Chain A
Amino acid sequence: MDESWAVVENRSVLVCNGAAEALGVRPGSALTAAWALAPQLRILPRDAAAEAGALEAIATWACQFTAKVSLEPPQGVLLEVAGSLRLFGGIARLMARLRGGLADLGFEGQLAAGPTPRAALWLARGGGETLQALPIGAIGPEPEALALLRRIGVRTLGELMQLPRAGITARFGQGLLRDLDRALGQAPEPRVFFVPPERFKAQLELPAPVMEADRVLFAARRLLLQLEGFLAARQAGVRGFTLSLTHRHKRSTVIDVGSATPHRDTEHWQRLLREHLGAIVLKSPAEAIGLEAAGLAPLAGAAPGLFGDARSEAEAWERLTERLQARLGGAVVHGLATHAEHRPERAWRAAGGVAGTDEMPPGPRPLWLLEPPRRLGEGEFVLLAGPERIESGWWDGDDVARDYFIAARGASLAWIYRAREGWFLHGLFA
């Protein structure tokens, strides 16, 4: 059986998939109740930003059909198509194209056409052919207004229209009548049209982490389709784009795809991307992908010199670190900071720049620790001070139980410990 999942907001289920419904989970269920029914239910918190992003992605793509696109958050996108019908061969063919395009982008939608934007919106929400028969919920009234309408037995838009207008205004405010008039075309509805962004940037969370190149490609295709819509609306192309793969705990993988001449065709870019993906091996699964494209117009690429323009003496130290890191690799050049931990080997950390100013450990600690500690034979050292007992770390499976001593061998001072396994040298005092 498929994994069951649900999008959750305020501890109740907003939407869930078929597998979850089969177990009895329903939109509106309390999360605790959902868990009781489906203990393995995967919970996705509602992500308003992602939803807004999805709506904008659709709008960006839809700009290829008309310049008059407007958003109706959280779920609607309105297209004014009267002027484009001829171009696209009539309303039926246009809607088929929209439906197919949405599916390619990975969305499911309910489409409807109407004489006014509001009528189209309501019909899309409620289904059916006429406004009269529309269920009252489809007009999206405030929850309180909806509750009152239901209490007085009003179920359809038609029934609502039979109530006295003054009575409606008194009970529901001006908004409801105004919306009604707009839907019926009796009042104008000014809309703010969507302005697509200047550069293309889109992100896609993958439903499950992905290792295989072809599955990355499949997901990237959706973004490329969006890009194509975006470019089509501008009658432009790009010379390249950047695909970035996000991994957990790892730096993103970045793939630059370029082409000698501008293109916007998804197939073209997909072919090129396939080659790029074939050339790399993912070290860890990708959890999200992002696509960015600029360069609708050429950019001047002036790279400043890497070294040699140290403008400030005060920055010299950081410059030095940067240069060392650039030459030797970022990982091997770092500062030291203390870290609040009892286990000595974990009581310090690599720090970006100069040493941190954390509290110092309570006892004498050598600056240099052996990693790993070196096992000692009998009688190599003379014990000078101790024991300092350290027992800590059970929570990460690396529990230690050691008695530390400061010990001398000849002129050098060592930090040694006794554990269940014997004696070990852990560090040398300078």
Chain B
Amino acid sequence: MGCLPEYAELHCLSNFSFLRGASHPEELVERAAALGYSALALTDECSLAGIVRAHVAAKEHKLKLIAGAELRLEDGTRLVLLATDRGSYGALCALITTGRRRGRKGTYVLARSDVEVCAGSGLLALLLEGDAHWLAGHFTGRAWIAAELHCGPNDRAWLESLRELSSASGLPLVAAGDVHMHLRSRRPLQDALTAIRLGAPVERCGRALFPNAERHLRARVRLAQLYPSELLAESAAIAGRCAFSLDELRYEYPEELVPPGETPAGRLAGLTAQGLAWRFPSGVPQRVRALIDYELRLIAELRYEAFFLTVHDVVRFARERGILCQGRGSAANSAVCYALGITEVDPGRLSTLFERFVSRERNEPPDIDVDFEHQRREEVIQYIYGKYGRERAALAATVICYRPRSAVRDLGKALGLAPEQVERAARSLAWWDGRRVLPERLADTGLDPASPALERLVTLTGELVGFPRHLSQHVGGFVISRGPLAELVPIENAAMPGRTVIQWDKDDLEALGLLKVDVLALGMLSAIRRALDFLGMKMHQVPAEDPAVYAMIQKADTVGVFQIESRAQMSMLPRLRPENFYDLVIEVAIVRPGPIQGGMVHPYLRRRRGLEPVAYPSVAVQGVLERTLGVPIFQEQVMQLAVVAAGFTPGEADQLRRSMAAWKRKGGLEPFERRLVQGMLERGYRREFAEGVYRQILGFGEYGFPESHSASFALLVYVSAWLKCHHPAAFCAALLNSQPMGFYAPSQLVQDARRHGVEVRPPDVSVSLWDCTLEDGALRLGLRMVGGLAAAAGARIATARTAGAFASVEDLARRAALNRRDLRCLAAGSALAALAGHRRQAHWAAAGMTQAAGVLREAFIDEPALALPPPGEGEDIVADYASLGLSLGKHPLALLRPRLSNLGLLPAVAVHAQVHGSQARTAGLVTCRQRPDTASGVIFVTLEDETGCVNVVVWRDLVERQRRELLGARLLAVEGRIERDGEVVHLIARRLIDRSSLLGQLLVPSRDFHWAV
């Protein structure tokens, strides 16, 4: 072994050179380390998007990593640039930013002059193709010619010509590999990527494909045969000059939030004191005071003041604009954040101390996500851009990766399958089939999975899934820095005009300890703000711990309430019976895939009902789990368990948390299993307990909720529930005005409000505004409910009406400048009733506006009013649904009830009265089909009729057998067995019958019944 040459690969592309590199950065690093390379330079094309992943992997495998990039200049010159120190790294980032900002999304434009500018920065250059004299002139002593030998037609002659170029230009030669994959076995995938890039089938790509698989990480023994030893030695020497590591990057917070003469710590302390005076006008409780002191000390020690100041500034802006917002995340539920107004969760209101705030040991950046009203978040984003400038503020990237369907589509085309076959193969992956391509699914669609082409498709898809495809913008993760951001990380154009993204995603930022502020959108905040506006209230004025609210929640009467309105949540509420705020915190966290898969839910419920004793294996564990009755429900508890019971350090526990989030994608929890179980056994815990904890960790996966998130969400749960409980009309109006959001369609929200005694009035041009409003306690639907009507037209109607009531449809059209299409929409929504009578007449009147010959304006013809026969009840209801998505008339099923009764189908209310285990038959409109991640292959269907809803469970085998009914039916009849747990009733389907044709009988034949679901 001793005689193997040293080698550093200085030219290597990962799959972040989209559609070129055929290996993940981590794979390349691992392989280079295994081959004993002295270093690896990741040189993706004009990109550093993969460098952080490579960096993390390189630390793990103890391999030296060099940051670099391959560039193709406008004149055809191709070169590799390598960073030697922080300064040259910054120059590289800036150069990439320059090139990327010039190009369309996904492209870049660079000229020689751009490269010349950064020649003095310490960057090293390897020439791949182009003018050696030019490079030698600008990078004197820091440039080489890359000799890349791939068993071409005549490597010897090629090398000879490179030597001549070397002596003529004075640039020395160095061995390099132009690596595109970590193993030669990736050749088919690499060829396929080339084909996808060229948009042609691989068989037609000809010599655009590489002639062989030599562009992989080659063993050093092989390199020794191919290259003169001095060229290999040169690679290691160059690597030796590259001393930069990403670990050197230090994030610097913006400075401007601290007025001159003040320290960040002083500023934060001052703002916190102000906030406390505002929060606690009658004096700050001692407990809160102590918390604040502790937190401020910790913040000062870790120098996180600027972060809190930054978030505070954003929140302050939002508050001034009347935009409702709320923070969540590990640091959000601190007393400091409460004082600063970042969150509304009163630390005094929670009996429990939040353990995970910012940890001294882990030195991880604090995490605060701030949710804003979804319809006004853009104002906040523009504020941030305006305040810090685009040089210093940018959105984090989201790496869009290949998913099975997109992989099948692209690979299918690359393999030359017929478009129809490709579409079929892609379609075979139904939304509930998950991430795999199943041969049996292909067979179902008439494709032969055993055919060589399909076999290749399945194999390559397996490799391609998870490959990055392009960078998109993160929903709201802002990175803000003191100096130009472009010297920290390259910035490129996003698809949305005027938006830029950095080349790193949130995992990358987290791995480097860089800080971001998440500016997110939350529909419920819009709804809450609107409801509070109706009532003239502020959020903190909502009375706490109102028993009536909890009584409503316990009955699962929660349509429209934040988080606990989903079907899974609703079936949990009567079992969990939340009685106070902390119960809501648990409720929010427990009905999540994590706890459900980890098997936490039932033990918790049994213990809460007193059916099972609560026991702790030790006092330490009791300290961690007591507040959740011995069952770990929050992410923090799992980490704390690892610390107190298995001897993890806080840093290791944090690694465990990260691995929990990623193991479904990457695996890699096994080392933790050994340590965890071993650690617990050593500390005297029983193996059964230890393995149980590990199973719960596995179940948590990426879905565990931290307690702090749950607490922030629980507050919105409480506030929205309070609104629903005491002000159902205002709550419903606010929800309707904030659509689209939430779990329920307007129809269900309105039906629910009416069941709670709210009078709902139809949209009407003579009274309605654009938004829904309250009218003497009744809910008046706004013109926004009228399908197809433009907001501007709606606003004009309201404005024109202030000058006096409309006399006729013509008067309305003239004064509000409406066109024929606007009128048609209004007629369809029955909003012209006051002016034109029933819907048919309204349509006749609206259509009377015609384009007069030679005149641009539309005008009405002069004609007498026409009396048309009124529409039937069924026709009206169907038309209501078509335009408004809801009807204030009877439920369609009320009209069909006699026929349904003849068929022996029970209404929902009767189904709910059935005893456990009995057989029942019912039918209803399908309002929701759901396949929870946790339930393997089961589909939940919600049926609605005039008396309420029935929850149907369809098991996997029935899903397969009655796919057609399940997918196709709008009116579905179900036969099955009643399963009752207290007040929670499910119908376990045994047979499904599509009764959609009955809906057609409400109408004339041939007219389809479109549901706006």
Contacts and interface: CB of A to CB of B under 8 A. Distances in A.
Interface of A: 23-24, 28, 32-33, 35-37, 39-40, 43, 135, 137, 148, 150-153, 155, 163-164, 166-167, 170-171, 339-342, 359, 361-364, 385, 387-392, 394-397, 403
B203 A33 contact: no
B375 interface: no
A395 B191 CA distance: 9
B844 A152 contact: yes
Contacts of B428: 39
Contacts of A396: 203
A153 B843 CA distance: 10
B873 interface: no
9 contacts: A36-B963, A37-B964, A170-B848, A342-B211, A363-B154, A390-B212, A391-B184, A392-B212, A403-B151
B211 A33 contact: no
Contacts of A397: 452
Q: Looking at A151, A164, A362, A392, which has the most chain B CB atoms within 10 Å of its CB?
A: A151
Contacts of A36: 427, 430, 963, 967
Ranked nearest first, the 4 interchain pairs of A and B with the lowest CB-CB distance are A363-B153, A340-B206, A389-B151, A391-B212
B152 A341 contact: no
B665 interface: no
B424 interface: yes
A23 B444 CA distance: 14
Given A342-B209, A391-B187, A32 B427 contact: yes
A152 B963 contact: no
Interface string B973-995: 00000000000000000000010
A249 to B, nearest CB: 15
Contact of B207 (A32, A153, A362): A362
A341 B968 CA distance: 48
Pick the most buried of B456, B840, B968: most chain A CB atoms within 10 A of its CB: B968
A385 B156 contact: yes
B214 A33 contact: no
Contact of A152 (B188, B208, B868, B1007): B868
Given A148-B847, A395-B188, A395-B456, A39 B444 contact: yes
Contacts of A40: 444-446
Contacts of A35: 424, 427, 445
A395 B209 CA distance: 12
B129 interface: no
B437 to A, nearest CB: 15
A342 B207 contact: yes
Nearest to B844: A152
Contacts, number: 130
Contacts of A163: 866
Nearest to B151: A389
A152 B840 contact: yes
A36 B428 CA distance: 8
Contact of B828 (A28, A32, A151, A339): A151
Contacts of A403: 151
A340 B963 CA distance: 47
B843 A148 contact: yes
A153 B1004 CA distance: 10
A388 B156 CA distance: 11
Interface string B196-232: 0000001100111101111000000000000000000
B871 interface: yes
Contacts of B875: 153
B188 A392 contact: no
Contacts of A153: 840, 868-869, 871, 875
B848 A340 contact: no
Contacts of B994: 24
A166 B850 CA distance: 12
Contact of B152 (A137, A340, A363, A392): A363
Contact of B151 (A341, A388, A394): A388
A157 to B, nearest CB: 14
A395 B208 CA distance: 15
Contacts of B1008: 28
A392 B153 contact: no
Nearest to B872: A153
Contacts of A28: 1008
A339 B871 contact: no
B968 A24 contact: yes
Contacts of A340: 206-208
Contacts of B445: 35, 39-40
A23 B211 contact: no
A171 B1006 contact: no
B61 to A, nearest CB: 28
B840 A388 contact: no
B446 A170 contact: no
A429 to B, nearest CB: 14
B188 A33 contact: no
Given A32-B427, A37-B968, A395-B202, A170 B850 contact: yes
B869 A164 contact: no
Given A171-B848, A362-B207, A33 B968 contact: yes
Given A341-B206, A385-B154, A397-B452, 16 more contacts: A28-B1008, A32-B427, A35-B424, A36-B963, A40-B445, A151-B827, A152-B847, A163-B866, A164-B866, A167-B861, A167-B866, A171-B848, A362-B153, A388-B151, A389-B151, A394-B191
B963 A37 contact: yes
A421 to B, nearest CB: 18
Given A151-B828, A155-B1004, A389 B211 contact: yes
Contacts of A387: 151
Contacts of A39: 424, 428, 444-446
B22 to A, nearest CB: 13
A33 B152 CA distance: 51
B776 interface: no
Given A35-B424, A340-B207, A403-B151, A164 B968 contact: no
Contacts of B446: 39-40
B968 A151 contact: no
Nearest to A389: B151
A339 B207 CA distance: 9
Contacts of A24: 964, 968, 994
Contacts of B670: none
Interface centre among B184, B212, B446, B994 (most CB of A within 10 A): B212
B415 interface: yes
Contact of B843 (A151, A361, A388): A151
Contacts of B1006: 135, 137
A359 B188 CA distance: 24
A359 B212 contact: no
Contact of B1007 (A150, A363, A394): A150
Contacts of A342: 206-207, 209, 211-212
A340 B430 CA distance: 39
A401 to B, nearest CB: 8
A348 B214 CA distance: 24
Nearest to B187: A391
Interface in B805-832: 827-828
B614 to A, nearest CB: 48
Contacts of B869: 153
B420 interface: yes
Nearest to A137: B1006
Contacts of B320: none
B863 A167 contact: yes
A237 B1004 CA distance: 52
A339 B827 CA distance: 65
A3 to B, nearest CB: 10
Contacts of B187: 391, 394
Interface string B436-452: 00000000111000001
Contact of A167 (B211, B416, B848, B967): B848
A364 B156 CA distance: 14
Contacts of B427: 32, 35-36
Interface string B405-434: 000000000011000100010011010000
A388 B154 contact: yes
